[in-house]
Structure 1
Amino acid sequence: MRRAPTRTACLVATVLLTALAGAPGPAVARDLPDTYVVSRAPGVLPEGIAVTPDGTLYVSSDGTGALYRGHIGRTDLRPFPARGLEGRTSTLGVHTDRRGRVLSVGGATLTVHDRHGRLLATRTAVGGPLGAPDLNDLTVTKDAVYVTDWANPVVYRADLRGGTLGPLEPWLDIREAFPQFPARYWLLNGIVANESGTTLLVASNGTEAVWRVDTADRTVTRLSLGEQSFGPDGMVLRGRTLYAVLNYGAPHGVYIARLDEELRTGTVTHRLTGEPFDLPTTLARHGCRLYVVNSQLDEPPGRPPYTVSAVDDPTCRTP
């Protein structure tokens, strides 16, 4: 959920990865907006997004660190009164849990807010092998929160016990899966978990790949999608369907893949590119619609208004 890597990083990835080689949903709502305005203030640069079961939207700002809230039935979002974010100048990943809490990351911190904006917890990541962390995205399972680091090839983990969040600690140095790849170019991005929390999928912009992690023994393997390169930004996993936003090395847009039962291999079945996307960074799914953030991060500070585009999910069946 950061900007695309340099061309040098991607060339390195291509060479090294080559060497390494070895269900029905509800009807699409036709009366909902196609575009949502996150903010009309200069420099917001939206980045992450979450949609709750009741249709509440949360969007993060890479430009200011703020959070915004709205509803899928209304076109405009408003600032979310999240306390305790004053010192965080950039907020990237944002997700909600089953209790309706809002979890977000940026800089070195993971924060948890209730639906009213009251700060419930702050956890700070220690520096990684390359220096200060730059937390990028997160996923929430029944017993943990997993967080990626753009600046270090590290996945962090915080235990969830009875709704209480434990310390945010280094959990996996992902370099072991591809030790010959330069550490500074891993550029970890989106992260998702299956429903049981036994498997993680971690996007790496630098390696232009998605990596599968077994949470029981931390074994890391590359997800095979039959593509020369597939390095997503944000992702959503629903059952065996992976939704991924690509914004470098391929036409910008949403790519949808059908995976095998063990989430080891898959095939890209749909590509949604072109209009209305403006450097999309990530997405959320609600009903039969995909909500895609238009970041404008390729030309900061961008040009207001900053928006989210809603498109139909082509994997859904309608009556």
Structure 2
Amino acid sequence: MRRTPARTACLTAAVLLTALAGAPGPAAARDLPDTYVVARTPGVLPEGIAITKDGTMYVSSDGTGVLYRGRVGRPDLTPFPARGLQGRPSSLGVHTDRRGRVLSVGGATLTVHDRRGRLLAARTATDGPLGAPHLNDLAVTDDAVYVTDWANPVVHRAGIRADGTLGPLEPWLDVRSAFPQFPARYWLLNGIVADAAGTTLLVASNGTEAVWRIDTADKGIARLDLGEQSFGADGMVLHGRTLYAVLNYGAPHGVYIARLDEELRTGTVTHRLTDEAFTLPTTLARHGCRLYVVNSQLNEPPGRPPYTVSAVADPTCGTA
């Protein structure tokens, strides 16, 4: 396991206290697993991941549509009893909101579950300019859920009302205006993240090998300037001005980290974590000073159990 200087110091202190007092070190100083087993059932093919502040982990299955749940302190996940997913053979993006609800997308549907798995809402996207939707990922703000469509160059939106209920899922922005000469069928919209204020979205497009910045107020869209770096990201995480992205197409597989300017218009790639034993990573979550990366095995379906999530140290932890 990789450790940050702070974690190493904590462990050193724990060892010293144990030697002096003859008592076990504090529980907070224990090691966390490097690898988490999502499932051992053939064909699961994990895809999305979300981790709550209290360390609850949710992972989606592209192969079966099932959601899995676990804890960052334990190496094994179990099926999350999410009702109403029987008709959805694939689940991709999964996130949680500040109410603790679990939101996920797959096929044409966006679903919302509570912590016990009770279905609170299900919304269906309409067909886009190229046909039936294939919802890929989602970003949750205080007043809306934004969803990317792999099959159409469209971002969908469902408003969140004052009481927390979800409005209809409707087409919100056709992104073709930003690059009209690019073939519509090859946009392949993928990961999506929002800033803390909910005023800016960053949307990954595998087809254009770029990330696009969208202003939620006026729907203005422009390419995120990362210099000459090809950046056709899959899943992403935005933490302040740090963008974490998983690349698995057109670049060595791994986690790429970029430092962005205050307006999230330009940035520089500062780290490339491509020497890890990832198996076609699709997305990631950030918790504490660690990054949790999904090993999808989608390049060789149905893959080979066990299906896992790898935890690696966040090299930016503790930096401004």
Q: When the two structures are superposed, what TM-score results if normalisation uses the length of structure 2? A: 0.90
- The Cα of 1:226 is off from its aligned counterpart by 1.1
Q: Is the 8 A contact 1:111 1:121 kept in 2?
A: yes
Deviation string, structure 1 residues 123-147 (Cα, Å, up to 9, x no partner): 0000000000000000000000000
Matched, 1:36 2:36: yes
Deviation string, structure 1 residues 194-223 (Cα, Å, up to 9, x no partner): 000000000000000000000000000000
Give the corresponding residue for 1:134.
134
Matched, 1:256 2:257: yes
In 1: Cα distance, 2:5 partner to 2:195 partner: 21
Q: Secondary structure at the match of 1:176?
A: helix
Matched to 1:197, the amino acid is: G
In 1: Cα distance, 2:109 partner to 2:5 partner: 37
In 1: Cα distance, 2:250 partner to 2:6 partner: 33
- The Cα of 1:228 is off from its aligned counterpart by 3.9
Q: Is the 8 A contact 1:148 1:154 kept in 2?
A: yes
Matched to 1:58, the amino acid is: Y
Q: Is the 8 A contact 1:38 1:59 kept in 2?
A: yes
Structure 1: which 5+ runs fail to align? 1-24
Give the corresponding residue for 1:5.
none
Deviation string, structure 1 residues 255-295 (Cα, Å, up to 9, x no partner): 00000000000000000013221100000000000000000
Give the corresponding residue for 2:112.
112
Q: When the two structures are superposed, what TM-score results if normalisation uses the length of structure 1? A: 0.90
Matched, 1:66 2:78: no
Matched to 1:217, the amino acid is: D
**What is the aligned-residue identity percentage?**
85
Q: Is the 8 A contact 1:44 1:301 kept in 2?
A: yes
Q: Is the 8 A contact 1:62 1:90 kept in 2?
A: yes
Matched to 1:50, the amino acid is: A
- The Cα of 1:227 is off from its aligned counterpart by 2.7
Give the corresponding residue for 2:301.
300
In 1: Cα distance, 2:259 partner to 2:214 partner: 18
Matched to 1:304, the amino acid is: P
Matched, 1:155 2:155: yes
In 2: Cα distance, 1:262 partner to 1:99 partner: 28
Higher relative contact order (CA 8 A, sep 6+): 1
RMSD of equivalent CA atoms: 1.3
- The Cα of 1:27 is off from its aligned counterpart by 4.2
Give the corresponding residue for 2:18.
none
Matched to 2:123, the amino acid is: R
Report how many aligned residue pairs link the two structures.
294
In 2: Cα distance, 1:274 partner to 1:280 partner: 12
**1:286–1:228 distance in 2 versus 1, CA, 3 Å:** closer
In 2: Cα distance, 1:56 partner to 1:285 partner: 12
Give the corresponding residue for 2:170.
169
Give the corresponding residue for 1:21.
none
Query: For 1:155-234, what aligned pairs fall within 5 Å after superposition?
Result: 155-161=155-161, 162-234=163-235
In 2: Cα distance, 1:266 partner to 1:41 partner: 41
Matched to 1:157, the amino acid is: R
Matched, 1:81 2:81: yes
- The Cα of 1:62 is off from its aligned counterpart by 0.2
Show structure 1 runs of 4+ deviating over 2 A: 25-30
Deviation string, structure 1 residues 165-211 (Cα, Å, up to 9, x no partner): 00000000000100000000000000000000000000000000000
- The Cα of 1:229 is off from its aligned counterpart by 1.4
- The Cα of 1:317 is off from its aligned counterpart by 2.9
Matched, 1:289 2:290: yes
When Rg is computed on C-alpha atoms for both structures, the one with the higher figure is 2
In 2: Cα distance, 1:166 partner to 1:317 partner: 39
Give the corresponding residue for 1:266.
267
Deviation string, structure 1 residues 16-46 (Cα, Å, up to 9, x no partner): xxxxxxxxx9945761000000000000000
Structure 2: which 5+ runs fail to align? 8-28
Give the corresponding residue for 2:247.
246
Q: Secondary structure at the match of 2:176?
A: helix
Q: Secondary structure at the match of 2:168?
A: coil
In 2: Cα distance, 1:38 partner to 1:206 partner: 29
In 1: Cα distance, 2:55 partner to 2:160 partner: 25
Q: Is the 8 A contact 1:37 1:77 kept in 2?
A: yes
Q: Is the 8 A contact 1:27 1:288 kept in 2?
A: no
In 1: Cα distance, 2:299 partner to 2:143 partner: 36
Matched to 2:45, the amino acid is: L
Q: Is the 8 A contact 1:26 1:287 kept in 2?
A: no
In 2: Cα distance, 1:58 partner to 1:113 partner: 12
